[in-house]
């Protein structure tokens, strides 16, 4: 009589949990901090949030939108949306915050180790693209002025507890 495998039991599927994700982040040198329902780690000076539920891993970075640069944020976010496949910028319901995230199906440590670093790289590239697009839009908007500030000197994100993209 042939034994039938219970889906996920011995093939390693669905064996991933927050403790294993935390350990993997430690091994990769991210120095994470475990919270009640998620993991936090630093990503290029920004705080990234890792959540995992029912085989879906999500990594998110949140920023406040500067009211003066709101239209630029939307336009830059649309540009990022058109240029990426995995990372999505989303303006949240309060219209004062934006979230960059990537989600992936991930059932095992093997999948996590195989795809996590690529997702992080794509997230970093998307954040850079957004920052560059914001600078371009702001400089283009302010170009008629004889005293144009350098892109790094233009505040585009409020600093309510979060470090700016630039």
Cα 129 from Cα 150, distance rounded (Å): 18
Cα 25 from Cα 66, distance rounded (Å): 31
Cα 128 from Cα 124, distance rounded (Å): 6
The single-letter DSSP state of residue 85 is S
Cα 128 from Cα 43, distance rounded (Å): 12
Residues 15-39 have pLDDT tens digits of 899 999 999 999 999 999 999 899 9
Total length of the chain: 166
The single-letter DSSP state of residue 150 is P
DSSP annotation string for 86-137: S-EEEE-TTSSEEEEEEEEE--SHHHHHHHHHHHHHHHHHHHHHHHHHHHHH
Cα 30 from Cα 42, distance rounded (Å): 7
Residues 40-97 have pLDDT tens digits of 999 888 899 999 999 999 999 988 887 777 888 888 888 888 888 889 888 887 778 8
Phi, psi of 4 (to 5 degrees): -100, 140
Cα 152 from Cα 154, distance rounded (Å): 6
What is the CATH code of the structural domain delimited by 18-142?
Answer: 3.30.1460.10
pLDDT band for position 14 (cuts 50, 70, 90): low
């Amino acid at each position: 009589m042939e034994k039938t495998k219970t889906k996920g039991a011995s093939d390693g599927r669905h064996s991933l949990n927050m403790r294993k994700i935390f350990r993997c982040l430690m091994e990769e040198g991210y120095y994470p901090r475990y919270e009640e329902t998620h993991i936090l780690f630093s990503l290029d000076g920004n705080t990234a949030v890792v959540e995992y539920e029912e085989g879906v891993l999500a990594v998110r970075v949140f920023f406040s939108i500067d009211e003066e640069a709101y239209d630029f944020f939307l336009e830059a976010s649309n540009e990022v949306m058109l240029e990426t496949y995995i990372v999505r910028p989303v303006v949240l319901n309060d219209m004062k915050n934006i979230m960059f995230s990537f989600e992936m199906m991930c059932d095992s440590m093997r999948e996590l180790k195989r795809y996590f670093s690529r997702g992080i790289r794509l997230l970093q590239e998307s954040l850079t693209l957004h920052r560059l697009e914001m600078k371009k839009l702001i400089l283009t908007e302010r170009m008629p002025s004889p005293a144009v500030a350098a892109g790094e000197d233009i505040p585009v994100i409020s600093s309510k507890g979060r470090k700016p993209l630039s």
